[in-house]
Amino acid sequence: MTVLLEHRAKALLRRYGVPTTDARLARTAEEATALARAAGGPVAMKIAASGIVHKAAAGGVRLNVASADAAAAFGELAAAAGAAGAETVEGVVVEPMAAPGHEAVVGAVRDPVFGPVVMCGVGGTDIEETADVAFRLAPLGEADLRDLAQAAACPGGADALTAILSAVGGPDGLLFRENIAELDINPVILSKSGAVAVDAHIALSGEDAAEPSAFGCLDPAARKALQREVHDALRPVFYTEGIVIVGASATPGKLGFRIVQNLVDFGYAGKIYPVHPTAGNIYGCKAFPSVDALPEAVDRAIIAIGARGVPETLRQCAAKGVKVAQILTAGFAEWDDEGAKLENTIGDVARTTGMRIVGPNTIGAYCGAAKITMSTPRHAPERAGGITFISQSGTYAWDMIHRAKVLGLPLGKSLSCGNCADVTPTDYLLYGAEDPDTDILAMYLETDLDAGRFFRLAREIEKPLVLFKGGRSAAGMRAATSHTGALAADGNLWLAAARQAGAVVVDSMDELLDVLLAHAAFGTLGGRRLALFGSGGGVSVVSADVADANGMTFAAFGSETRRRLGKFGVPGTSVDNPIDIPVWGLKSDDTFIFHEIVELLAADAGVDSIIAYVEMNSIFEFSDDVAEGEAEMEAIVRSLLRADTAGIALSAVLRTAGDRVQDDILRNARPRLLKNGIAVYPTTARAIRAHARIAALSAGP
């Protein structure tokens, strides 16, 4: 890596239209004095020495130096450079003092995982401590430029700052024309008259300039062709006419037996070929002693044998015509160095044979439509649908199947993808984008060495994408020569890239399922204006805090809505949004009127979504016995089912005390209400967060 001295860095910036101060190099005290006189006023003087990046921290900056003091300042700076251990001192940069203004920082880094990245925010020498910055993947579009400029919190000069950002990270910016490794412009001084780069640091790499197509920046035709290619290659993961199971067992209860058993019991209609050295038949399926012994070509393989035997088995599968092999076996890169070497060999097999390989370290795949399952069939969701879930955790892939059934979610596919030695998260993204049966793509990811390409492609995909990322806080600051490089930790870049792509990031499996519930119920939201009603003032207050923290606003009701709500306005109630009405106030002639309030709110043009909440404790407190409480709750559910929302998104919160009776009511109501387009949650906080995430997905990048 070659670090340019400041005057050379500024010269490079000016070539791309970035305005800078007039930095001149003085090699002697006499030259410094002459340059200071020529400036016609106070000057800034900075050491120009290799090995010193943060000049102020090394004592290598003097400001407001008069020409008469320039020679002395030169000597002081040279001494400071020596004390700081400078490798080579070329001299001192002399430049006119810039007019005061708002300080911003513009930075860039070529990240090994995310590719070219641009940073912008509030500038200053302490930006690594304040971290008041934003990141976007380059090349930058118009929305990216606006978002980054806003991060600088500048009252003026935004247009000039946007121009600098474009010169750095736009499609024709220096990130794609020069071999930039790291770049800092700190500060950029902004004022109503424009912007000027006062200090600059650029480190060059030994690589060529970044090529946008290498990071997933493709024209629409090329991107569509890539989607189709990947989709066709991976289709046998879920839709296949035959499966060979290498490592099948004749012993009930063992994994190799259950793989066969689950496929048969789930009703898989294709051919099943168990491979076992001695068994003649496994769970009604004729067994074969080896892959070579199979009577015909087969396009899908499941491998569950010892790690050392996997590479050769893969070669045998490829020779037999297998298009996709999924490796259940663990003990590869996640285990030790020897396992990592085996995993590299798996990648080599994929490249040399053209066979795609899922895993290793997986637990299987589920596809409701094709009757393929990794789970006991009794746990399979009752209806197949448009949710596709890809998970680097086998536990979560399994969990999705089980919980989709409990929640009534329309799960179509769940795949445990493991270590991704061959097929990567980017491949699964492209598959889901092209798959006609996928309406929404959800992913649990831990590592993705192709994240830059993943997110740049995700920006162009129209289907909603929900991401649950493990290990976001584990990555520390990488060794860097710039503020930008130090701040560009993987967690920061990951969240920024997801936001830029229009994807929603969740923090738990529960939150992921909450978003999928909302999507299954009502799909999209037209905005973030929320109406909330129910019984419980404390819940309303806390809900207001949650809404604010998640970018939701409580809708201001129109005059007709306020008039119609007025009949509920008695002591102990609040008909302002959020609406708080006691349980007895939600009845008319001994009949619950949840549906009437929902329809009243849905008719208000200022409302984008509605949440109705029920404190089940209140219902049971005002019931003479459990049976009466259950009957009351059933009446509430029926009232909600009667509601005509006129296309307005509706969720119901059935808040339980945690006892079996109330938990069962919640559990049983969920699938019933979901079929009528109503998502059900246990708390208002979870419902509000889900609405906020759907609003973000609906807005797109």
Query: Residue 124: helix, strand or coil by DSSP?
Result: coil
Please state the φ and ψ torsions of residue 154, each to the nearest 5 degrees. -95, 125
The pLDDT score that the predictor gives to residue 538 is: 76
Top-tier CATH class for 233-507? alpha beta
In this model, does residue 570 exceed pLDDT 70? no
Query: Residue 466: helix, strand or coil by DSSP?
Result: strand
Q: 97-126 burial, b for 16+ CB within 10 Å, e for fewer?
A: ebeebbbbbbbbbbbebbbbbbbbbbbebe
Top-tier CATH class for 102-214? alpha beta
The pLDDT score that the predictor gives to residue 575 is: 83
Which segment of 56-60, 200-204, 249-253, 689-693 scores lowest on mean pLDDT? 56-60
Query: How many other CB atoms sit within 10 Å of the CB of residue 304?
Result: 21
Within the chain, all domains assigned CATH 3.30.470.20 are found at 102-214
The pLDDT score that the predictor gives to residue 473 is: 59
DSSP summary character for residue 24: E
In this model, does residue 131 exceed pLDDT 80? no
The pLDDT score that the predictor gives to residue 482 is: 52
In this model, does residue 540 exceed pLDDT 90? no
> Using one digit for the tens of pLDDT, what is the confidence trace for 384-427?
899 999 999 999 999 999 999 999 999 999 999 999 999 999 99
The answer to whether 413 touches 365, Cβ cutoff 8 Å, is yes
Within the chain, all domains assigned CATH 3.40.50.261 are found at 233-507, 524-698
In this model, does residue 484 exceed pLDDT 60? no
The pLDDT score that the predictor gives to residue 496 is: 94
The pLDDT score that the predictor gives to residue 472 is: 67
d(CA 60, CA 335): 49
Confidence band of 481 (pLDDT split at 50, 70, 90): very low
The pLDDT score that the predictor gives to residue 164 is: 97
In this model, does residue 693 exceed pLDDT 70? yes
Top-tier CATH class for 524-698? alpha beta
Tokens at residue 363, please?
A: 């637990």
Confidence band of 571 (pLDDT split at 50, 70, 90): low
Confidence band of 258 (pLDDT split at 50, 70, 90): very high
Q: Per-residue DSSP letters for 634-685? A: HHHHHHHHH---TT-EEEEEEE--SSHHHHHHHHHHHHHHHHTTEEEESSHH
The answer to whether 422 touches 356, Cβ cutoff 8 Å, is yes
The answer to whether 640 touches 595, Cβ cutoff 8 Å, is yes
In this model, does residue 159 exceed pLDDT 50? yes
In this model, does residue 535 exceed pLDDT 90? no
The answer to whether 188 touches 201, Cβ cutoff 8 Å, is no
Mean pLDDT, residues 579-604 taken together: 90
Mean pLDDT, residues 346-368 taken together: 97
Q: CATH topology for 22-96?
A: Dna Ligase; domain 1 (3.30.1490)
Which segment of 106-110, 338-342, 485-489 scores lowest on mean pLDDT? 485-489
Within the chain, all domains assigned CATH 3.30.1490.20 are found at 22-96
d(CA 447, CA 375): 25
> Using one digit for the tens of pLDDT, what is the confidence trace for 169-226?
999 999 999 999 999 999 999 988 889 999 999 999 999 999 999 999 999 999 999 9
Q: In what order do the strands lie in the sheet with 88-96?
A: 24-26, 88-96, 43-50, 61-65
The pLDDT score that the predictor gives to residue 478 is: 45
User: What is the pLDDT of the chain when averaged over all its residues?
Assistant: 92
Confidence band of 359 (pLDDT split at 50, 70, 90): very high
In this model, does residue 641 exceed pLDDT 50? yes
The pLDDT score that the predictor gives to residue 520 is: 97
In this model, does residue 509 exceed pLDDT 50? yes
Confidence band of 351 (pLDDT split at 50, 70, 90): very high
Which neighbouring-strand residues pair with 50? 88
* pLDDT more than 70, % of the chain: 96
Signed CA dihedral, 558, 559, 564, 570: sign only = positive
The pLDDT score that the predictor gives to residue 54 is: 79
* pLDDT more than 90, % of the chain: 82
The answer to whether 650 touches 525, Cβ cutoff 8 Å, is no
Which segment of 73-77, 411-415, 582-586 scores lowest on mean pLDDT? 582-586
Mean pLDDT, residues 54-65 taken together: 90
pTM of the model: 0.92
* 187 upstream amide cis, omega within 30 of 0: yes
Which segment of 98-107, 151-160, 370-379, 505-514 scores lowest on mean pLDDT? 151-160
